[in-house]
Amino acid sequence: MDDGLRNELSKQGVVVVKLEELYNWGRKNSVWPLSFGLACCAIEMMAASMARYDLARFGAEVFRPSPRQADLMIVAGTVTKKMAPQVVRLYNQMPEPKYVIAMGACAISGGPFKQGYNVLKGIDRYIPVDVHIPGCPPRPEALIHAFMTLQRKIDAQKLTGPDRARHLNADLPSEFPVPLFGEHDLVPSKNPNVWRPAVVVR
């Protein structure tokens, strides 16, 4: 159906949409985040959900205390190597469709603790991250921007075809191996199926 006819019909009070659009419209406006914070970024996340920044405008005010009711994991803060297995386990317990926002310098790369012995250099080494937010900590506006980016991403997901969304493709994994505590580091230190370092050109 072309846009002109659709416009004409809407003037007569008939709204025509594709099922995919309706489905994604519903999903993108009811993304419920998992309520957990790891460090100071969580304070900004809380601020974003309060009245001043009002994340409720985007349908995301319902922070769920259980991974089984959540759609979105906001990794807000430093992921220590001791905490990383628990974060991956929480992600595994979330039902599909599920999304991840890595919030702040620590969650995306290790941040100021990058060269430390106890901090994971980015949660994207173990679970697939949809949106990365830089900043130390990012302001609530940055989180809202990341959230809107995620909404656009959800809106563009296909229901059918070879490039359909992950939760509709049984061949793609929805759970990822939980790293174990090793003698010197986490084992494995990264999941090569999830994280491939970009080629650095100098």
Give how many residues touch another protein by CB under 8 A: 16
Contact in structure between 33 and 59 (CB atoms under 8 Å) = no
What b/e sequence results for 11-50 when a residue is b if at least 16 CB atoms lie within 10 Å of its CB, and e otherwise?
Answer: eeeeeeeeeeeeebeebbeebebbbbbbbebbebbbbbbe
In whole angstroms, the minimum distance from the beta carbon of 122 to another protein comes to: 9
Contact in structure between 144 and 53 (CB atoms under 8 Å) = yes
In whole angstroms, the minimum distance from the beta carbon of 184 to another protein comes to: 6
User: Between 114 and 133, how does the x/- string for binding to another protein read (CB under 8 A)?
Assistant: -x-xx--x------------
CB under 8 Å to 2, separation ≥6 — which residues? none
- Positions in 182-201 near another protein (CB under 8 A): 182-185, 189-190, 197-198, 200
In whole angstroms, the minimum distance from the beta carbon of 82 to another protein comes to: 6
- Positions in 67-96 near another protein (CB under 8 A): 82
Q: Enumerate binding residues for another protein (CB under 8 A).
A: 82, 115, 117-118, 121, 181-185, 189-190, 197-198, 200, 202
